Amino acid sequence: MTVRELPHLADVEHRFVDVGGLRTHVALAGGGEPLVLLHGWPQHWWQWRHVIGPLAQHFRVICPDLRGLGWTDAPPNGYRPAVMADDITGLLDELGVERFRAIGHDWGGLVGYLLALRFPERMRHYIAINTASPFLRPTPRVLADGVRLWHIAANAAPLVGPRLAAHTIPDWALRHWTHRSATMTPEDRAIFLAQFEEPARVAATVSYYRNLITHEIPLLLSGQYRWSRLRVPTLILAGNRDPLLPVTATREFGSLASDIRVEVFDEVGHFPATEQPERVVERAMEFFGYQKSLSNPSKPPKSP
């Protein structure tokens, strides 16, 4: 059990929920219909600090820490999106949530896609932020763009990987993956980096990226995820200055999606919820059926 102090955010409740033996931390705020926010690496629930308050005016906001990150347990295995999708459905079952909306980013974005593909009857809407399409094909352009993802091989490398994952690469990511560096304050970076002082969380990061190389990227490029159509209405938000993913990698769906919308954020890097949180909230509210601005809130839309 970690003794790190949780950062304070007004009107946020923190719980630790046993999900199949995984002690899972979740931050909760607001009331109404459930909205699940799934963070990426090297972050945790604090990634959503700027959007929780506005969204909690309309939704019961649920921000879990993925396994191995934040304040959720860091077991020795299970660092695959399919396992983490099971973690999230187990958490929602424990919280008594049946139907929900979701927003996912980075690793959390892939988890969100799997939830949408596997449980379309439970997910009402999905927003994927700076996340590769699960239907991405191994074209020469996609393979050439792979050089952007050097951190994957570095984090997964034998011997040196754990040393780099303990501070160097997470610190680099938080400093350089945002196009608007001033939006990621030193205090925020310290909150995210503190988790990597725990050896189990460093080992979790190494496992994340070794599994990505050995399982997830081959599955993605082999078309494994083409076994099902994406039927959940989905909005893709992509920063055009993301140093990891070109916009084209986020919006390749072909005929395998029923309802896809794409919006590109100009002059935004890998962390839109940090760089332009107001715009993320505005687009989410519109997509979820709230037509008025947050300064003049509308009534919740009727459930289908």
How is the chain split among helix, strand and coil, in percent rounded to 5? 45, 20, 40
The single residue listed with the structure tokens 């610190």 is: 171
Tens digits of per-residue pLDDT, 44-56?
999 999 999 999 9
User: Torsions phi, psi of 10, nearest 5?
Assistant: -55, 135
Tens digits of per-residue pLDDT, 242-292?
999 999 999 988 889 999 999 999 999 999 999 999 999 999 999 999 854
303 located within any domain: no
- What's the CATH number where 232 sits? 3.40.50.1820
Tokens of 158: 């034998």
152 located within any domain: yes
294 located within any domain: no
In terms of residue numbers, what domain contains 235? Answer: 13-287
Residue positions counted in the chain: 304
Q: What is the number of domains present in the chain?
A: 1
296 located within any domain: no
Q: Which amino acid is at 67?
A: R
**Lowest-pLDDT range, 8-12, 79-83, 149-153, 181-185?**
181-185
**What is the model's pLDDT at position 291?**
59
Q: How many CB atoms lie within 10 A of CB 6?
A: 16
Rounded Cα distance between 232 and 246, Å, is 23
8 located within any domain: no
Tokens of 232: 């959940």
CA atoms within 13 A on the CB side of 161: 20
| pLDDT: which is higher, 111 or 134 | 111
299 located within any domain: no
**Which residues on neighbouring strands pair with residue 28, listed in sequence order?**
13, 62
Rounded Cα distance between 304 and 299, Å, is 15
**CB neighbour burial string for 29-50, b if at least 16 within 10 angstroms, e if fewer:** bbeebbbbbbbbbbbbbbbbbb
Tens digits of per-residue pLDDT, 60-95?
999 999 999 999 999 999 999 999 999 999 999 999
* 3-state class (DSSP) for residue 119: coil
Tokens of 280: 């993320």
Confidence of residue 299 (pLDDT cuts 50, 70, 90): very low
170 located within any domain: yes
* DSSP line for 242-303: -SS--HHHHS--TTSBSSEEEEEETT--S-HHHHSHHHHHHHHHHHTT--S-TTSPPPPPPP
83 located within any domain: yes
Tens digits of per-residue pLDDT, 224-237?
776 789 999 999 99
Contacts of 214 (CB under 8 A, 6+ apart): none
* DSSP line for 148-214: GGHHHHHHH-TTHHHHIIIIIHHHHHHHHS-SSGGGS-HHHHHHHHGGGGSHHHHHHHHHHHHHIII
